[in-house]
Every structure is written in structure tokens, then in C-alpha cells.
Amino acid sequence: MARPDKAARAAIARRRSDAIDLRLAGVDWLTIARKLAADPVANSDGIAYPQGYGIERYRKSQDPPSDEALIHAACRDVRTALAERRAELNDDVDELRALEADRLDRLFFVAYKKAVRDQDLTAIDRTLRIMERRARLLGLDMPVRTELTGADGGAVQIENVTTDELDALIKLTDPDAG
């Protein structure tokens, strides 16, 4: 099958967006599939949805797809659209991370000059804090290895742990917690 033209790709994107919107609204898969079907016979609104499910069958004047095939297409659409949105979000996060790294580099340069030139202890502390933040932002720090043991170095008995003991364990492994 040839790659769809620009108008068809836009219609497919709209269909996927509509499928997500319907699913978020709590609509079941079959209703979504019928609402977005290309064939007016299968479409719950009785219209030919542009680039709807079963468009190739509709163009060839074949019977509309089965309910199972329509449901499969709707599920695939939602999965594809969500994956594309996640990829876009990841790209946005990468751009923001690069922007923040640039900002930290500029701040570092100012603080570093003052720390070296004036041997200012406050500037040195500020420089180190900027370096720490940049390392966290870019994932440069090595992970900290933490081992938990129970009484006498044995295994921790989770099934007999109280809420207070569990909170204490969390505080040991996550210094930022509580």
C-alpha cells in the first residue's frame, strides 16, 4: 500500500485524536470503532468517516470489516497515537534539558570566574551547587548502591514490617523522602 498523501495523513491523525478523545470519555472500543468507520453501513452516525476504519474495503465496495476487525483497528489507532505523543513529549523533555544545561553553563561561568579570580568561598560553594545540579540534570552521577539487611545481617522480613519500620526503610533508601 502506498504512503498516504498529506491530506490523508492529516485525516488519519484526526481519526486517531478522535479515538483517544472517545476512549478518554469512557466510550467502549466497539462504539469508537463504529463511530470512526469509513463505511456508512458500519458507521454509527451513518456517514463515511474520512480515512475511517475499513476505508480500503469501502473504496472497493466490499462489505465493511467485522466488529472484531473494527475494534482491533481502534485499539491499534489509540496505541499508535499514544506512542507518538510519548515520543513528542520525550523530544520536548530533551529540548528542555538542553536549555536548562545551557542556563546552568552560563551561571557556572559567572560563578567560576568569581571563585577563581577572587577566591571567594561563597562563589566556590555556588559553583559546586551548579555543578551538582548539572550532573543531576544530565545523569552524570554514579548511582548509589544501597543494601538493606535485617537483624544480624539477615534478610528483611517484609511481611512482618510495621508502617513505622517501612517508613524508616524508605528514609534510608531515599534521602529526599519525608
If phi > 0 it is left, if psi is from -120 to 50 it is alpha, else beta; for residue 102 that is alpha
Residue 25 resides in a domain = yes
On whether residue 10 sits in a domain, the answer given is: yes
Residue 54 lies in a domain: yes
Pairwise CA distance, residues 152 & 160, whole Å: 16
**Is 153 a domain residue?**
no
Domain count, the chain: 1
The conformation of residue 53, written as its DSSP 8-state character, comes to: B
The three cell numbers locating residue 33: 470503532
User: What confidence tens digit (pLDDT) does each residue in 52-105 have?
Assistant: 888 888 888 888 889 999 999 999 999 998 898 888 888 888 899 999 999 999
* Alpha carbons 13 and 34: distance in angstroms, whole number: 17
Of 57, 58, 61, the closest CA to residue 48 belongs to 58
Residue 84 · residue 48 · CB < 8 Å: no
The reply to whether 84 falls in a domain is no
Q: Which domain holds residue 36?
A: 6-77
Question: pLDDT of 102-138, one tens digit each?
Answer: 999 999 999 999 999 999 999 999 999 999 999 999 9
Q: Could you tell me if residue 55 is inside a domain?
A: yes
Which pTM value belongs to this model? 0.52
Residue 129: CB atoms within 10 A of its CB come to 13
Confirm whether 48 is domain-assigned: yes
Taking the CB of residue 69, how many other CB atoms lie within 10 A of it? 15
Domain assignment of residue 29, yes or no: yes
